[in-house]
Every structure is written in structure tokens, then in C-alpha cells.
């Protein structure tokens, strides 16, 4: 049966159904864990969410009664690339599909989960609909009508499930329980069983109380500590709970994870905000700001604490290294050794953990408060919390005598800049020339790397976005014109005001300056315009960054060229080879090269040149020689053209594949030091050789005869002359040969210059054009 996942922005993914049937709405999110799908499915923190698993095969170890995080499946829907129909694990009692059916959860498989995750990363978490009965249009509408996660109180919706200490004990199976030394009251906002299991296994007697238990009721139970659980929904909505927790602060040691951490933060006066796409997976690096040590953690939360609102007397102890968001806070931090929360359970049971400094590597967000004054630190054996695989330590020297009147010990940790912490979940790149061959490949490459990608689009009387349309408008939403993976801004290299405005708006971390009048022959016809765009345009870009005071924030890549070597002074050409440009294009680009270097040296900017040799692709402009040849070969082979006219057949070029070269642009900007690099294959071929190979790929064997302007390429089979020389394609001054030496890039950047060999490049282009020439042209 067909199933549809529709997002509120109009994206639609069609696959096959498993589990229950029907229609469900929720927030679409993704989880990157390789294992732990049963824990994910039963984790109450996932309530209200349609979860996409990025690991490609899900269900292979079935489900079992011991690993559940609660008594039932909690997710609103489940999305996988491939569902394992047959499970194989001695602990399993059932396969995932039938179990989900019983649990009433709709599943979809056979969809591109990588695409979904990439889309949610760049566009942000969205309302979604999973259905086996609606049309795509109806499903999109249903997604749009679903409640938003922001402002949603799901804790009350799922309800609490109080448990006696005996019921908690019964959750631990197959293990001898240690004596319970301390009494913990655990607030249930959607608590996970694994937390309870681990608290119990570490000597805590745990009583689970409902979410709305009052401070007075908790204190009447006289606990040694209070634990605030994880849970779903927006923490800001739980105002009455914030109030009760605030009333406990100073009276009893307390710690919380995920939602619990956010509730303590609210109780202390901080605020939370919705993360763009949440933290869900088993590999989130978290840094302890005090020790500098990093642990790899398992996380599941869609909100985070806003560091700008954390009061001065609260210490930020942990940050997420992916996006610098707050992962841990503590009050009276001088007293608190460390509060590592129990496991979220997405780690395989019993797997060893060996992250230095952290004995346990689980769920990230946590908060702890201790009501002590500045008493001298006491030994660990006086701690009242000793949890999480026996290693979590919450030091409180006088556990039962903490006077609330003594106030909190204040400790504040300096933070990274706020804009890194809250708003920029990924690096931001700005590409000039995004509509060109390289720009389009680079945009795809950077989106894959998780960048937020912006591009400069110049005004044109006809569409110039053909190469990036698939990024601009998703194939599923062409009609709805919504789903944008890239952001385009009108601007022009000849207009500094537009460049300043765009850079100011976008605040890029990296600029790739690819925009240029890039045709060498045309530069003889429009030399002044070429200089304006390619030379002064580069200056404008550099100046815009400087004017905006972004010299230190923003790295700039300048698209330099092998045309600088022109009349070559040595073979092969490397970074130290003297320049001798041979065209207005080459001369303009030489200015671009030097001004980039000059700004680097003058203003200490990370501004670098990639001296790229020719690189081609199926997206190459149609009047560059390689594409002109492959298009002609495809048309001639299919009876759509008679003859191809070319210029200098003896010209030698070092041709690579553009898709490989954009990786280098990125690598150059990631290098530790700002340096210029030659990017080439180290192999050169004549235009004639390219022609022979391209026609062969199209099924035609060429024989060459004659010399100079009289040279011809004849079809060996039919005798027809298919290629002739036309002097109008000669250039006033020719670059006869170019051959690059990519040793520096190979050595310092680890780049492989021959990942697409020359013959493969020709094949890719011809195969593409054999189909392309047959597609109708639309105006
Ligand atoms: P391309 O396909 O010709 O693309 C050039 C891009 O620049 C297009 O997006 C174009 O926009 C834009 N552009 C042109 N004039 C502009 C202006 N005044 N303001 C704003 N945008 C403008 O070139 P490419 O092959 O991708 O090459 C990218 C860069 O690398 C160029 O700087 C080129 O000189 C350099 N380079 C290329 C090679 C190579 O073999 N491909 C080798 C070395 C260096 P429209 O789409 O609107 O025309
Ligand atoms: N365009 C074109 N058209 N070139 C021809 C033709 C023809 O009909 N016949 C022979 N050629 C020769 C040119 O004279 C040149 O020697 C060689 O083929 C390559 O020409 P192009 O494909 O136009 O590229 P280019 O080398 O001049 O310039 C490209 O590479 C540079 C890097 O070396 C462009 O992408 C530049 O922007 C880039 O900087």
C-alpha cells in the first residue's frame, strides 16, 4: 500500500506503508542513531513527532519487552529507508512492522531518508502528515493544519505515570540490585525507563511522581534529591511547573535532563527557544567548559536554553560543539563536581563507554542546582547523588541540612559569542556566480556539508537559474514554489552597493567569488566589461567585507585561473610559475589574483586564490570547446546536425571534472593557513583528442586529414566530413598549452586530482548530451 509523507512546505515523499494505516500529523524530525530504534519509538520525548531514521536499514534486531523506554510506542509516525522484514536477535520477540501495527503507529519505507534529513536540516523542523489514505495535496494541507510544536504542551497530553519504588525495581531485570541508599523523587514529564533503571542500579530508591506535584508535596516526602525527567513539547508552556520547581530550589539538590534541564533553567529565570532542527542522535559532541573534555552524547530535544537569558549566578557548564548551544548549567557550581545524566538508551545495551572525563556518554542537556554556600569541597563519598552507572557525582556536603536561607554560590563562565550559540546552526556560505557551472556544483556540495547556502543572482531578461532549479524548487513542489534549499539575492559584480547589502544581510562565514565573464574569446569583444566584473568586481567583494568589518569572520575564495599562465613560462605550471596572461580575461583575472593576495597581506584577511585549470562537465556553458563538441557529437550521431566548426585543434588543455574541483574550493577555505593553490589533473590533451573521444562515445569513429585551416574530421564509416576548422574561432592571442602541477593541493589538502579520469569525463558529458539534445527546448 502507498504511504505519503507530506511536509508543510509542500514537499511530498511517496513510499510504501508498514505498521498501522490511516492519517497522522506531527512534527517531522530525524534521528541519526545507527541503533536504538525501539528506544526512539517508545521514548515519550518523541510524542507528537514523525521520526525519520537516517540509518538505512531499520528493524533488523526486532523488538523486545526489555528495551522499551515506556509502556508503548510514542511517536506519531515512523519513516525509514528500508524496513527489515525478518529480524534476527535472540532477545527479540517480534518484528518491527507487526509490532508497530499493534501499537497503531503508521510507518513509511522506500523513501529517501537522507534527502528528508538534509531538507529538514536546511529548512528546519516542520509540521508533517503521514498518511495511507490522503492524496499528496490533501496531505500537505493536513500538515499545514497541524498544531505547531512551539507553544505546545505535550506533557499534559501524554499524562504522568506515577510509580512506587517497588515498581521501579521491577523495571530492572536480570541484575542483582544494590542496596538503595538515597531517596529520589523523580518528576515524570515523560520519563524514560532506562533512566529509572540506571538510577536504581546505582543505589537510588526512586519514587516517580506526576508532573504537577507541588513543591510542598515533594518536600513532605523528605527526599535526598529531586530528579526532573526528559519529556516532549515546548518547555516554555509549563509555567506552573516552573513555579513549583523554583520553590524547590535552595531546599533540595536537584538535577534534570532534556526537558528537566529546560524546566530548571526556566525556574532559575532563563528562557528557551526552538532549535532549527533539534538534536536527535547518538553522536553529539559536548564540551565540559571547565575541564575542556569532550564527550560523545546521545540526545533528543528540540528546544534549547537561550544563553543570553541565563542569570549571572548560574554557570553554563556544557556546550554542544556542533552548534554551541547550551547543554548544561549548574548553580553553585563550585560545589557540583559533575552531573552526568543517565542514559537515554539509544546506545546498545551494555556497550562499553570510554570517553575520557565522562564515564557515561549519554543525553546532553542537563541542569543541576545545589543550595549550598561556599563551603570547602568535600570528598566524593559524601555526595548524595551517585548515579548513572555509578559515576554521576553531585557533591553536596550536608545533604539534609542545606539551609535555604544561605543563598546560592555564584559562578559565571564566559561564553562564545551569542550569535554562534543560538541562531547559526550551520556555517553560512555566499556564492557569487551560483548560476554557473561551478556555482551550481558548489551549492550542492555545501548543502551536503550542512551549510546554509546563499547565492548572488544577476538580473536577466530570461531565466538564468537552469543549473540550480533543482535546488531552488524541489521537484515535488514545482507548483507550490516553496521548498528552497538555497537563498538567492539579486546583485551584480559591477554594483558595490548590492554586494555590501547582500553580505550584510547574509553574514557569511565563507564567500566563494565565482562570478565572472568567464569566456576568454568573448573577453576580446567586451574587454571593459570583463575588467569591471572579473577585476574590479573582485575588489568590490573584498572591500564590501572590509567595509562591513567582517575581515576576521569571513573567509574568501577567489576563482583564479590557469589563464594567468597564458604564454607559459615553465611546464608544468605550479604556484610559483610567473604569469603571462594572453587575453583581457586573463589580465582581469590577474588583477583579481593580486588584489586578493594584497588584501590578505594588508589586512590579514583569509582571502585565497584557487588557480584552477580547465574543468568541464555536463553543465558546462555551451560555447566552451568541450561542451560544444559533446553537444555536436550527440546531435550529429542522432541526425540532428551535419557538421561541427572549431578553431584551434592543436590547443592543449589540462581538463578535469568540475564536480571534483568544487571540493577543492572548499578544502582551500578549510586549510589552517590562507594560501593559494594550483588545482589541475597533471595531464593535457588536444582539442582534437577530445573530439575523437567524444565522437567515439557517440558511436562515430573520426579520421583526421589535412593541416591548419584545411584540417578535417571524416566519419570513417560514411566518409562524410563532420568536423571543419573555422578561423573565426581563433583568438587574437592564443594560449597554446596549459598543464598544471597539483602536488601542493595533493599534499596539503589531500585532494585526489584524478578521481575522474579524462576518458570518464568525456563519457559523462556525451552520455548526458545524447539525452539532452532530444529534450524539447522551452522558452
Ligand atoms: P560560468 O559557468 O561562466 O559562470 C559564471 C557565473 O558568473 C554565472 O553564474 C554568471 O551569471 C555569473 N556572472 C557573470 N557576470 C556577472 C556579474 N557581472 N555579476 C554577477 N554575476 C555574474 O563559469 P564557471 O565555469 O562556473 O567558472 C566559475 C569561475 O571560475 C569563474 O570566475 C571563472 O572565470 C573561473 N574559472 C573557471 C574555470 C573553468 O574551467 N570552468 C577555470 C578557472 C577559473 P549568469 O548565469 O547570469 O550568466
Ligand atoms: N570556445 C572554443 N570554441 N574554443 C575553441 C574552439 C571553439 O570552437 N575551437 C578550439 N578552441 C580552443 C580555444 O582556442 C582554446 O585554446 C581551447 O579550445 C579551450 O577553449 P575554451 O573551452 O573556450 O576554454 P578556455 O581555455 O579558453 O577558458 C576556460 O578555461 C580557463 C582556465 O584555463 C574558461 O573556463 C575560463 O574561464 C578559464 O579561466
pLDDT for position 439: 98
Q: What is the 571 CA–ligand 2 centroid distance (Å)?
A: 19
pLDDT for position 369: 59
Q: What is the 262 CA–ligand 1 centroid distance (Å)?
A: 48
Instruction: Pull the grid cell for residue 257.
Output: 535532563
Annotated catalytic residues are: 561, 563, 585
pLDDT higher than threshold 50 for residue 389 = no
Q: Is 366 in the pocket of ligand 2 (CB under 6 A)?
A: no
pLDDT for position 693: 98
Q: How confident is the model at residue 422 (pLDDT cuts 50, 70, 90)?
A: very low
Q: What is the mean pLDDT of residues 733-757?
A: 95
pLDDT, tens digit, 9 for 90 and up, residues 109-146: 999 999 999 999 888 899 999 999 999 899 999 999 99
Q: What is the 514 CA–ligand 1 centroid distance (Å)?
A: 6
Is the N-terminal amide bond of 602 cis, ω within 30° of 0? no
Q: Is 590 in the pocket of ligand 2 (CB under 6 A)?
A: no
640: how many CB neighbours lie within 10 A of its CB?
A: 12
Cβ-in-10-Å burial (0-12, 13-18, 19+) of 355 comes to middle
Task: Indicate the pTM of the whole model.
Answer: 0.57
pLDDT, tens digit, 9 for 90 and up, residues 12-21: 999 999 999 9
pLDDT for position 728: 97
The mean pLDDT of the chain is: 85
Q: What is the mean pLDDT of residues 45-51?
A: 94
DSSP state of 740: B
Segment of 237-251, 283-297, 618-632 carrying the highest mean pLDDT: 618-632
- CA-wise closest residue to 273 among 306, 245, 247: 306
Q: Is 740 in the pocket of ligand 1 (CB under 6 A)?
A: no
Q: How confident is the model at residue 385 (pLDDT cuts 50, 70, 90)?
A: very low
- CA-wise closest residue to 58 among 134, 14, 110, 20: 110
pLDDT for position 491: 97
Q: How confident is the model at residue 296 (pLDDT cuts 50, 70, 90)?
A: confident
Instruction: Pull the grid cell for residue 407.
Output: 543563598
Q: Cell 515523499, residue?
A: 13
Ligand showing the shortest atom-to-Cα distance for residue 612 = 1
The atom number, within ligand 1, closest to the CA of 533 reads 18
Cα of 670 vs its chain's centroid, Å: 16
Cα separation, 168 vs 746, whole angstroms: 59
Q: What is the 624 CA–ligand 2 centroid distance (Å)?
A: 6
According to DSSP H, which parts of 57-112 are helical? Answer: 96-103
Segment of 321-325, 481-485, 642-646 carrying the highest mean pLDDT: 642-646
pLDDT, tens digit, 9 for 90 and up, residues 66-90: 889 999 999 999 999 999 988 999 9
Q: What is the 662 CA–ligand 2 centroid distance (Å)?
A: 19
Q: What is the 534 CA–ligand 1 centroid distance (Å)?
A: 9
Q: How far is CA 407 from CA 249, 332, 416, in A?
A: 10, 9, 28
Q: What is the mean pLDDT of residues 754-769?
A: 96
* Ligand 2 atom 12 nearest Cα: 648
The atom number, within ligand 2, closest to the CA of 627 reads 22
Q: Cell 505498521, residue?
A: 19
Q: What is the 518 CA–ligand 2 centroid distance (Å)?
A: 10
The atom number, within ligand 2, closest to the CA of 736 reads 16
Spatial contact of 216 and 223, defined as CB atoms under 8 Å apart: no
DSSP state of 563: G
Spatial contact of 57 and 33, defined as CB atoms under 8 Å apart: no
Q: Is 648 in the pocket of ligand 2 (CB under 6 A)?
A: yes
Cα separation, 55 vs 116, whole angstroms: 12
Cα separation, 226 vs 222, whole angstroms: 10
Q: Is 684 in the pocket of ligand 2 (CB under 6 A)?
A: no
Assign residue 529 a region (left: φ > 0; alpha: ψ between -120 and 50; beta: otherwise).
alpha
Cα separation, 52 vs 32, whole angstroms: 9
Q: What angle do CA 609, 612, 617 make, to 5 degrees?
A: 135
Cα of 249 vs its chain's centroid, Å: 38
Segment of 17-21, 33-37, 286-290, 402-406 carrying the highest mean pLDDT: 17-21
According to DSSP H, which parts of 104-230 are helical? Answer: 113-123, 136-145, 155-158, 165-169, 193-201, 215-220
Q: Is 437 in the pocket of ligand 1 (CB under 6 A)?
A: yes
Q: Is 653 in the pocket of ligand 2 (CB under 6 A)?
A: yes
* Ligand 2 atom 14 nearest Cα: 648
pLDDT higher than threshold 90 for residue 361 = no
Q: What is the mean pLDDT of residues 350-363?
A: 29
The atom number, within ligand 2, closest to the CA of 647 reads 9
Instruction: Pull the grid cell for residue 111.
Output: 523513501
Spatial contact of 363 and 279, defined as CB atoms under 8 Å apart: no
pLDDT for position 472: 67
pLDDT, tens digit, 9 for 90 and up, residues 534-573: 999 999 999 999 999 999 999 999 999 999 999 999 999 9
Q: Is 561 in the pocket of ligand 1 (CB under 6 A)?
A: yes
Q: Cell 515533594, residue?
A: 218
Spatial contact of 766 and 695, defined as CB atoms under 8 Å apart: no
Who's near 646: CB < 8 A, 6+ residues apart? 625, 628, 629, 687, 691, 723, 724, 725, 726, 729
771: how many CB neighbours lie within 10 A of its CB?
A: 10
Q: What share of the chain is helix, strand, coil (3-state, %, to 5)?
A: 30, 25, 45
Q: Is 651 in the pocket of ligand 2 (CB under 6 A)?
A: yes
DSSP state of 163: B
* Ligand 1 atom 25 nearest Cα: 437
pLDDT for position 368: 63
Cα separation, 67 vs 38, whole angstroms: 7
Amino acid at each position: 500500500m502507498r504511504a505519503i509523507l507530506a511536509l508543510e512546505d509542500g514537499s511530498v515523499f511517496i513510499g510504501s506503508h508498514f505498521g498501522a494505516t490511516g492519517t497522522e500529523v506531527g512534527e517531522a524530525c530525524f534521528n541519526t542513531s545507527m541503533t536504538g530504534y525501539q528506544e526512539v519509538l517508545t521514548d515519550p520525548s518523541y510524542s507528537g513527532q514523525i521520526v525519520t531514521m537516517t540509518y538505512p536499514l531499520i528493524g533488523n534486531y526486532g523488538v523486545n519487552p526489555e528495551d522499551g523506554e515506556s509502556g508503548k510506542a510514542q511517536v506519531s509516525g515512523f519513516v525509514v529507508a528500508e524496513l527489515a522484514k525478518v529480524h534476527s536477535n535472540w532477545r527479540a520477540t517480534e518484528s518491527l512492522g507487526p509490532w508497530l501495527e499493534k501499537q497503531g503507529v503508521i510507518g513509511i519505507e522506500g523513501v529517501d531518508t537522507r534527502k528528508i534529513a538534509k531538507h529538514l536540516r536546511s529548512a528546519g523542523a516542520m509540521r508533517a502528515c503521514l498518511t495511507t489514505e490522503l492524496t499528496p495535496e490533501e496531505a500537505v494541507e493536513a500538515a499545514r493544519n497541524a498544531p505547531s510544536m512551539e507553544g505546545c504542551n505535550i506533557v499534559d497530553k501524554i499524562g504522568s505515570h506515577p510509580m512506587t519504588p517497588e515498581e521501579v525495581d521491577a523495571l530492572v531485570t536480570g541484575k542483582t540490585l544494590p542496596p538503595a541508599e538515597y531517596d529520589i523523587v523523580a518528576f515524570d514529564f515523560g520519563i524514560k525507563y532506562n533512566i529509572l533503571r540506571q538510577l536504581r542500579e546505582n543505589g537510588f530508591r526512586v519514587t516517580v511522581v506526576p508532573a504537577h506535584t507541588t513543591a510542598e508535596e515533594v518536600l513532605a516526602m523528605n527526599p535526598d534529591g529531586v530528579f526532573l525527567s526528559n519529556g516532549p513539547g515546548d518547555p516554555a508552556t509549563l509555567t506552573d511547573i516552573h513555579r513549583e520547581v523554583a520553590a524547590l530550589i535552595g531546599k533540595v539538590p536537584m538535577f534534570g535532563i532534556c526537558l528537566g534541564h529546560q524546566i530548571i533553567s526556566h525556574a532559575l529565570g532563563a528562557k528557551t527557544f526552538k532549535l532549527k532542527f533539534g538534536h536527535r542522535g547518538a553522536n553529539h559532541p559536548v564540551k565540559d567548559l571547565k575541564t575542556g573534555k569532550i564527550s560523545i552524547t546521545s540526545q533528543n530535544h528540540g528546544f534549547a536554553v537561550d544563553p543570553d537569558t541565563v542569570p549571572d549566578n548560574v554557570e553554563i557548564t556544557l556546550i554542544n560543539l556542533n552548534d554551541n548551544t547550551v547543554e548544561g548549567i549548574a548553580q553553585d557550581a563550585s560545589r557540583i563536581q559533575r552531573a552526568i545524566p543517565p542514559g537515554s538508551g539509544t546506545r546498545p545495551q551494555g556497550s562499553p563507554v570510554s570517553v575520557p572525563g565522562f564515564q557515561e556518554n549519554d543525553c546532553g542537556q542537563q541542569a543541576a542546582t545545589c543550595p549550598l554556600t561556599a563551603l570547602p569541597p568535600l570528598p566524593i563519598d559524601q555526595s548524595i547523588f551517585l548515579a548513572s552507572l555509578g559515576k554521576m557525582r553531585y557533591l553536596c556536603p550536608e545533604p539534609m541540612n542545606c539551609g535555604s536561607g544561605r543563598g546560592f554560590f555564584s559562578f559565571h563562565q564566559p561564553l562564545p559569542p551569542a550569535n554562534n550559540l543560538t541562531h547559526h546552526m550551520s556555517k553560512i556560505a555566499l556564492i557569487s556566480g551560483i548560476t554557473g557551472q561551478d556555482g551550481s556544483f558548489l551549492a550542492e556540495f555545501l548543502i551536503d556539508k550542512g551549510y546554509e547556502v546563499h547565492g548572488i543572482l544577476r538580473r536577466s531578461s530570461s531565466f538564468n537559474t537552469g543549473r540550480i532549479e533543482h535546488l531552488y524548487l524541489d521537484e515535488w513542489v514545482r507548483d507550490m514554489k516553496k521548498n528552497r534549499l538555497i537563498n538567492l539575492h539579486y546583485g551584480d559584480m559591477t554594483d558595490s552597493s548590492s554586494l555590501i547589502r547582500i553580505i550584510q544581510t547574509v553574514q557569511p562565514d565563507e564567500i566563494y567569488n565565482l562570478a565572472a565573464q568567464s569566456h576568454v574569446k568573448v573577453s576580446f569583444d567586451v574587454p571593459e566589461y570583463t575588467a569591471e566584473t572579473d577585476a574590479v568586481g573582485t575588489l568590490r567583494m573584498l572591500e564590501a567585507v572590509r567595509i562591513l568589518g567582517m575581515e576576521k569572520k569571513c573567509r574568501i575564495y577567489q576563482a583564479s585561473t590557469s589563464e594567468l599562465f597564458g604564454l607559459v613560462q615553465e611546464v608544468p605550471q605550479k604556484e610559483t610559475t610567473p604569469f603571462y596572461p594572453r587575453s583581457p580575461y586573463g589580465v582581469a583575472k590577474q588583477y583579481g589574483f593580486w588584489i586578493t593576495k594584497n588584501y590578505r597581506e594588508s589586512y590579514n584577511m583569509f582571502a585565497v586564490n584557487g588557480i584552477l585549470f580547465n574543468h568541464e562537465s555536463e553543465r558546462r556553458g555551451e560555447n566552451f570547446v568541450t561542451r560544444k563538441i559533446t553537444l555536436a557529437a550527440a546531435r550529429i550521431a542522432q541526425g540532428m546536425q551535419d557538421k561541427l566548426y572549431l578553431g584551434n585543434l592543436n590547443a592543449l588543455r589540462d581538463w578535469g571534472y568540475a564536480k571534483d574541483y568544487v571540493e577543492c574550493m572548499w578544502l582551500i577555505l578549510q586549510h589552517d593557513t590562507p594560501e593559494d593553490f594550483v588545482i589541475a589533473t597533471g595531464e593535457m590533451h588536444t582539442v582534437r583528442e577530445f573530439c575523437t573521444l567524444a565522437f567515439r562515445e557517440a558511436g562515430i569513429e573520426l579520421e583526421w586529414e589535412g593541416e591548419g585551416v584545411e584540417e578535417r574530421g571524416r566519419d570513417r564509416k560514411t566518409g562524410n566530413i563532420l568536423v571543419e576548422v573555422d578561423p573565426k574561432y581563433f583568438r587574437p592571442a592564443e594560449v597554446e598549452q596549459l598543464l598544471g602541477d597539483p602536488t601542493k593541493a595533493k599534499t596539503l589538502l589531500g585532494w585526489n586530482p584524478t578521481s575522474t579520469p579524462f576518458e570518464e569525463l568525456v563519457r559523462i558529458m556525451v552520455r548526458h548530451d545524447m539525452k539532452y539534445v532530444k529534450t524539447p527546448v522551452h522558452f
